[in-house]
Amino acid sequence: MSIATAAWLAYAAPLAGCVLIALLGLGGERVPRRAAAWIACLAMLVAFVFAVVVTVQLEGLEETSRSVRSVAWTWLAAGDFHVDNSILVDQLSAVMLLVVTGVGFLIHVYSVGYMQGDREERRYFAYLNLFVFSMLILVLAANFVVLLVGWGMVGLCSYLLIGFWHQRPSAVAAAKKAFVMNAVGDIGMAIGIFMIFRQLGTVDYIEVFAGRAELGADTSTINWICGLLLIGGLAKSAQLPLHTWLPDAMEGPTPVSALIHAATMVTAGVYLIARMNPLYSYAPDIQHLIVVLGVVGLLMAGLIALTQTDIKRIIAFSTMSQIAYMFVGVGLGAYWTGIYHLTTHAFFKALLFMGAGVVIHALADQQDIRQMGGLHRWLPKTSLAMWIGTLALAGIFPLSGGLSKDSILAAGLEIGNGWGDLAFFGGVAGAVLTGLYASRLMFTVFRGPPSDYAAAHAPHHTEHGEGPRTMLYPVFILAALAVVAGIVQFPGLSHVFSSWLEPVVYGAVPMLEPSASNDWIATGVATAAGGIGVIVAAIVWGHGRSAPVSFPRPLAVLSERRFFWDELYHYAFYVPAAWTAVALRRFVERPVFLVVPDAIGAFALLAGRTLAPLQTGLVRAYALAFALGVGGLVLYFMVQAA
Amino acid sequence: MLGDWASLLIYLLFAALVAGTLLFASVALGTRGRREGRQKAYSFESGVSVGSFAPSNFSINYYLTAMLFIVFDIEIVYLYPLAVILEPLGVFGFVELCVFVAVLGLGYVYIWRKGALEWK
Amino acid sequence: MTTPVVQWGALAPDLILLGGAAVLLLVAVLFRDRTARDIAMLVGVGCFVGSAVAVTVIWDHGDGVRAVLDGQFVVDRFANAVRVIVAGSGLLTLMGAYGWARLREHGPEFVAFLLVAAAGMDLMAASNSFVSLFVSLETFSIALYALCAFDTKSSASLESGLKYLILGSIGSVVLVYGAAFLYGATGSFRFDEIAVGVAAEPESLLALAGLALVLGGLGFKIAVVPFHMWTPDVYEGAPTPVTAFMSAATKAAAFAVLVRVLVTAVPAMGDTWKPALAVAAIVTMLFANVVALRQTNVKRMLAYSSVGHAGYLLMALVSGQAGAKALLFYLAVYAATSVGAFTVVAIAERETGRAATIDSLRGWGFSRPVLGGALAIFLLSLAGFPPTAGFLAKLYLFAAAIDAGYTYLALVGVAATVISLGYYLRVGLALYDRRHESGSMLPSAPGTAWAGTCAALAAIVVLWLGIYPPDVLDWAGQAAASLIAAP
């Protein structure tokens, strides 16, 4: 089987699953309720197997020829311009393919247990498969139009799944918010693509990358293009300043949060910048902007996560913070570090979300950590797995998250020159925060005496174990991955990941790989920083949720109110827009649109007196119009000739 | 210049002439008048009185039968030119003729079985 | 005298349809009610499928172009492509009409009329002389007059049939009048011979007047402003399955023959008719789409929409080979979209028991998810949204116009498309009006299963052509090349 065939099959499997599940609806009540769930999982398994086949075969090729472009058909052709439905399989898309299908498969299996008994299970699994399909369109795209299609479709699926429980007004509102924010990004991206097309007359990746020097010749053009594409990336990846939708998106089912809002879709911005590295390396200004936004974002999200009380929102802010790390990595030009962190993050963050899902299940849909505490006695396995995820998140050596985060910091150290220093010190400070908020969550939930609510619900819901096997096994597998995944890139010992991705990076600057000594320094400092965070958290919250903690007042308010971003948008966009609308109604609509239609109406009445009989259903009038038309036509032809 | 228009003008002249003659003839030759009675003032509508109230019910059988008669009549007329050249056309012409008549026969069977020929 | 040569193979797709119609007369006599209807449906489906299959068999015969019956017809790939579109429309129409109560009494007659109309359209698309054009035009027109009045218990249907008959006859008369003028100028009815005569004397007034009248007569059939006035009344009053077939197939056949007349008979007069068609296109696009904004009856709205689409298609007539290719693709897409949309409207009418208006459809998309979704897809395709096929169809049409130097036509087309969003989206929004959500899924009304399948099938076609167009585009390209040489 050729690489292209395997990739197309991996691509088609989730689509087939989605269509099949939709067709099950024709069967009505005769179809078993669980059929949809198992079809969806099977589709994902098939996709994952083909993803592995693709990767293995790609590995068997010469290093320089590990880029396979396959055109299925030409969608649109006009002159020289053409848009194909094509895929590009190379080292980068293979990594993304593995992450999306692999983690996606585990989360599908988890969903089988999590969604059991939901009335609209079939719709859920159809959406979930459709999402994976859309995500594969996004990561396998070989041209910008297909990329935009995938980009839009994952946004649509995200919207559908956030609002999955459409009876809840808050879920519908959150879905709308996510959609609007993402639409802003989509528009930015579309304009960027138009600019590329105007400059080069093509939308094909390979042709665009070949023309990168031409684009890069004019600084302002390349800055605009990269900046506009970045807007798309910022919106999709929930980065400053387009991040406010992500915490609200936690209204969706927890596996959705794990798959879409942690492991795959929200990392699309990182993938985008890494994929566009030939362009970004010509736009250092934009790269610096990315680093600054990333550093500010990771610190801010870390601070916010410290005071939140909803278990899923804490993890959501943590996601935002970790993606900010990835942005820092790709912004520094060390593209592989961003992708590396993306991969390990997919493991430990999906693990944390799924663990949180087990907790929420055990407490009858309670998400407030103040209502938890002491859950270790009922959920020992979950607690252990989540501790692994937490330590990986906190960046403790040698867990995978530690190694990948350290690679980003090491890249900063390697570059130095202000921007690199900013990345390094900002990242270390962020690591302390990460250790703090992540451990706070764990201590509050699992340690100390249980709250009244937990004591009332937990024993009842866990008498048959911590949850169905379909939920627990994926958690354990991810926990194992979170521990060992770092082996592919170990400071001074192995550099499988960076050398695998090296050929993908071709721009104005070469691939950046930190020296072993910088690597070890970064590892040591970051582990120490994360460890300090964990230890401080243990001292403060070690006795469980009862521990009262007071931050300095202004910081606490900033954190609790999430740095007032929602209020800022309210006053910066909504209020002016509402005022404009009111003003338009008063000063434009009433005078113009109420008067003008009257005028038009008066004119129509006037015209009506002469024309009205024509469309009243009288055949003779129609015949007259016809005759007049023919007469006019004949007259015109005669005049033309004369 | 006139050469371009000549054919068209002559054509239009003839058209006007024909239409005008017909209109004039009906006025000049018509025997319309109070003395001859009102019936003569009405236009000819296949023998059906046009003087009655329009939306009233009337039997459709007359029209049906008349129309079917005309249809079959005209179809049969096509057989005359075919008959003239049937011999040179040979077998082809004969088969063609048979197909034509068969289709007509099919139509006849249809209207017959559907009761269109019964006077109700 | 030599025996006439008949190219049976080239005519097979039409002979199959006509033979089916003849058989159906016997079916009508031998069987009754539902049995008769079911047999008639099988025969009809078989004939349409057979016709399409026959086309694929003869597609490459004679390198794609064959003169038939002493040059009265030219069966080329262009004509064959139209045959496929007509057969496809017929198939979808049959499926969509299956549950219609009227067919329980007169099923075979309905199918027979449909087959005869389809054969007439096929032949008209292949006509190479005004004699064959007129005969085939009348063949399908008379069948359509009867089909419009098919629901003899509904006064709207009778009115529709009568109006179409009277106005259609006037249209035919004008067409014949024009043909007579052209004969007077060139001494022939055949397009290729007219072309010779016209080329020798392109300023001939008689020929120009003839062409103007021919354009008027054919303009009536394709319903361009100002020859469109019958369309809303007839479309609204006719039984909805008939409207569906008319809108899809008549348009395809009439546009096909119009292209053939223009490029094979009077290319020498291009400087005269191209500006005229450009003006007609602009007026039609703008007028029809603006008037459609005011309609509340969905069938009437779709009728104006159909007039508007005729306006877009006029663009193709002045755009050469690329235009003809875009025309065929557009017609294929429009056929699926239009039949699908009218079929859904027919189901809505049957379920609500009254004419489909924007108000009666409010919230309907929630209770009938498949049909509502299908209608939404059709509306988006009519409005030209990706990924539906309507987007690509419009894109190729506009691109062809721009390449032919008619950028302003494309711009007006875009403006008209924007206007059209006003009414297409209004129906779409009404379908999913939350305030009228009934909260439960309705069981489908009896007898709508096949109509629903038809709508779903049409929606799949519309999406399929929008996502995977290369095969059909290639096919349209071959067909266009068989009629018009590349510049």
| Domains contained in chain C, number | 1
Kind and range of the H or E run holding A23: helix A3-27
Inside any domain, residue C2: no
Does a structural domain hold residue B30? no
Task: Decide if C116 is inside a domain.
Answer: yes
The pLDDT score that the predictor gives to residue A184 is 85
Number of domains in chain B: 1
Q: What's the Rg (C-alpha) of chain A?
A: 28
Burial of A441-454, coded b for 16+ CB within 10 Å and e otherwise, reads bbbbbbbbebbebb
What is the average per-residue pLDDT within A101-123?
85
Q: Show the domain range for B76.
A: 56-120
How far apart CA C475 and CA C173 sit, in angstroms, is 35
Residue C3 lies in a domain: no
pTM score, two decimals?
0.83
Give yes or no for a contact between A473 and A109, defined as CB atoms under 8 angstroms apart: yes
Interface probe with C: pick from B1, B2, B5, B8, most Cβ of C within 10 Å: B8
Q: Do C212 and A619 touch (CB under 8 A)?
A: no
| Rounded to 5°, angle at Cα C433 from C431 and C434 | 135
Q: Which residues fall within 8 angstroms of residue A162, CB to CB, at 6 or more apart?
A: A171, A174, A175, A178, A248, A249, A251, A252, A256
Give the whole-angstrom CA distance, residue A539 versus residue A547.
10
CB pair distance less than 8 Å for C216 and A614: no
Q: Does residue B20 lie within any of the structural domains? A: no
Q: What is residue B25's three-state secondary structure?
A: helix
Average pLDDT over residues A233-244: 85
Tell me the pLDDT tens digit for each residue of C287-346.
888 888 777 889 988 999 999 999 999 999 998 888 999 999 999 999 999 999 999 998
In a domain, B118, yes or no: yes
How much of chain A exceeds pLDDT 70, in percent?
Answer: 91
Instruction: Identify whether A32 is preceded by a cis peptide bond (ω within 30 of 0).
Output: no
Considering CB atoms only, which of C29, C203, C206 is closest to B113? C29
Distance CA A408, CA A553 (A): 33
Structure-token pair, residue A325: 């790390």
- Furthest CA-CA distance within chain A: 103
Residue B16 lies in a domain: no
| Per-residue pLDDT at C363 exceeds 60 | yes
**Per-residue model confidence (pLDDT) at position C303:** 92
Contact yes or no for C211 and A637 at CB 8 A: yes
* Residue A3 tokens, joined: 């690489």
Cα(A118)–Cα(A140) distance, rounded to whole angstroms? Answer: 33
Position A536 pLDDT exceeds 60: yes
In angstroms, the separation between the Cα of residue B69 and the nearest Cα of chain C is 18
Least trusted range by pLDDT, from A23-32, A433-442, C32-41, C272-281: A23-32
- Give residue C123's pLDDT band: very low, low, confident or very high (50, 70, 90): very high
Please tell me the total number of residues recorded for chain C in this structure: 487
For residues A120, A123, A124, A125, the Cα torsion angle rounded to the nearest 10 degrees is 120
Nearest CA distance, C349 vs chain B (angstrom) = 30
**C158 Cβ under 8 Å from any chain A Cβ:** no
Residues 6+ apart with CB under 8 A from A164: A120, A123, A124, A127, A171, A252, A253, A256
Q: Do C205 and B109 touch (CB under 8 A)?
A: no
Mean pLDDT of A371-382: 79
Q: Reduce the DSSP state of residue A141 to 3 states and report it.
A: strand
- Considering chain C, what percentage of its residues have pLDDT values greater than 90? 52
Q: Do A641 and C205 touch (CB under 8 A)?
A: yes
Contact C1 B89 (CB under 8 A): yes
Tell me the C-alpha distance between A521 and C193, whole Å.
91
| Closest CB from A615, A630, A641 relative to C229 | A615
C3 close contact with B: CB closer than 8 A: yes
Residue B115 domain flag: yes
Q: Does A220 touch chain C (CB under 8 A)?
A: no
What pLDDT is recorded for position C14? Answer: 93
User: What domain range is C373 assigned to?
Assistant: 8-483
Q: What residues of chain C lie within 8 A of the CB of B106, using their CB?
A: 22, 25-26
In this structure, what token pair is assigned to residue A345?
Answer: 């993050």
Q: Which of A321, A164, A178 is nearest to A240 (CA)?
A: A321
What is the interface size between B and C, counted as CB pairs within 8 Å?
Answer: 35
Q: Which of C3, C205, C209 sits opposite B89 (nearest CB)?
A: C3
Q: Which residue of A has its CA nearest to C326?
A: A78
Asked, for residue C1, whether it belongs to a domain, the answer is: no
The band of C127, judged by pLDDT with boundaries at 50, 70 and 90, is very high
Put simply, whether C203 touches A (Cβ < 8 Å) is yes
For residue A614, what is the nearest residue in chain C, using CA coordinates? C229
Q: Enumerate the residues of chain B whose CB falls inside 8 A of the CB of residue C4.
A: 89, 92
What is the CATH classification number for the domain harbouring B101? 1.20.58.1610
pLDDT score at C138: 94
| C282 occurs within a structural domain | yes
The predicted-structure confidence for C50-100, as pLDDT tens digits, reads as follows: 999 999 999 888 787 888 888 899 999 999 999 999 999 999 999 988 888
Nearest by CB to residue C208, choosing from A617, A619, A638, is: A638
A612: contact with C, CB 8 A cutoff:
no
Neighbors of chain B with 3 or more C-beta pairs under 8 Å: C
Statement: residue A578 has pLDDT above 80: no
Interface subset of A 122-181, CB within 8 angstroms of C: 149
Q: What share of chain C is helix, strand, coil (3-state, %, to 5)?
A: 80, 5, 20
B7 part of contact set with chain C, CB < 8 Å: yes
Which tens digit of pLDDT belongs to each residue from C155-197? 888 889 999 999 999 999 999 999 999 998 898 999 999 999 8
**Identity of the residue in A74, A79, A630 whose CB atom sits nearest the CB atom of C216:** A630
Please report how many Cα atoms fall inside a 13 Å half-sphere around the Cα of residue C341, on the Cβ side. 30
Separation of alpha carbons A27 and A425, rounded Å: 59
* Residue C70, domain member (yes or no): yes
| Contacts with A630 from chain C: Cβ below 8 Å | 174, 212-213, 216, 227
Q: CB of C290 within 8 Å of any CB in chain A?
A: no
ipTM value of the model? 0.83
Q: 615-634 in A: which are within 8 Å (CB) of C? A: 615, 617, 619, 621-623, 625-630, 632-634
For chain B, how big is the Rg over CA atoms in Å?
A: 24
Q: How many A/C residue pairs have CB atoms within 8 Å?
A: 93
Q: Give the chain A residue nearest C233 (alpha carbons).
A: A617
Q: For residue A70, what is the enclosing H or E element?
A: strand A67-78
